[in-house]
Amino acid sequence: MGRASIRYGLTENLLNYDGHIGYAVAPEFRRRGFATEILRQSLALLANRGIHRVLVTCDDDNAGSAAVIEANGGILEDLRFKPGDNVPTRRYGILN
């Protein structure tokens, strides 16, 4: 159905563009709440490790992912361009 990549520490690249959590849901399972639940559970794992300020990102043109992040308490901090990309990255903070 889907997967999450949880990063307990942030490199400069992760801090600028990729954040603490990456997630994906297979196309045939989208729009059923799985991404929201994957992110919710990922946030719980980070909280259990003492990480209470979480950075989650998505491409600016990914309305579905932005909605998932916002449904989990994400507050848009800013937009940044990855070198070579034409679409900015949305950076959200979540107090966990």
CATH architecture of 2-95: 3-Layer(aba) Sandwich (3.40)
Q: What is the pLDDT of residues 54-67, one digit of tens each?
A: 999 999 999 999 99
22, 62 contact by CB (below 8 A): no
Q: List strands edge to edge, sheet with 21-25.
A: 2-6, 21-25, 53-59, 89-95, 75-80
Q: What is the pLDDT of residues 16-55, one digit of tens each?
A: 999 999 999 999 999 999 999 999 999 999 999 999 999 9
Whole-number pLDDT of residue 23: 97
Domain boundaries, the chain: 2-95
Query: Confidence class of residue 82 from pLDDT cuts 50, 70 and 90?
Result: very high
**Strand pairing category for 2-6 and 89-95:** unpaired
Residue with tokens 């043109």: 61
